[in-house]
Amino acid sequence: MKQPKHYTSIDDLPQYNWRMIGEKNDLSFMLIDKHKKFDKAKMKIAFDKIKDEYIDTFGINDNYLKILELKRDIAILEIDMAISKDRTIKNFIRISKIELDNLLKSSDNSKQSQTTFALTKHLKCYISEKDLSVRQYAELVEGMKNDLTSNKAA
């Protein structure tokens, strides 16, 4: 199946779509024309490239790093349980999954709208996530942080 036209970079993917992919785990937000059928595996690879580009450009925050580490730990525990047949490991997996769920709930979803509100207030104009690319949005956030930091230092 030929992939329909989709976003390929943080320069063209709208911030709103980036957030929806993260919140809903819905890769259809990668599509320029959302009503097309697509190969999920290939679209996942395309999205992973965009995530890599984001991390290469802006780095990785501590919360996201904790999420990745927990996902890795859960995978290792699941492999250990499958190999050893030790069912007591399932308790550690449950605990780790609860911790992961709590981290995911407290992460970017609620903070994203707070950040957009803060940007709107800081810039004194309405900010639409649909009109800004991921790069533009991240650069505005960085600029606002720098402004606030320099104002505190002065």
Q: What is the pLDDT of residues 76-122, one digit of tens each?
A: 999 999 999 999 999 999 999 999 888 877 765 557 778 888 888 88
Distances (CA, A) of 71 to 64, 67, 68, 99, 107: 11, 6, 5, 10, 15
CA dihedral angle for residue 26, residue 30, residue 33, residue 36, rounded to 10 degrees: -60
First to last CA, the chain: 58
Q: What is the pLDDT of residues 4-31, one digit of tens each?
A: 899 999 999 999 999 899 888 899 999 9
Give the per-residue pLDDT at 107: 64
**Model-level pTM greater than 0.85?**
no
Q: What is the pLDDT of residues 112-124, one digit of tens each?
A: 778 888 888 888 8
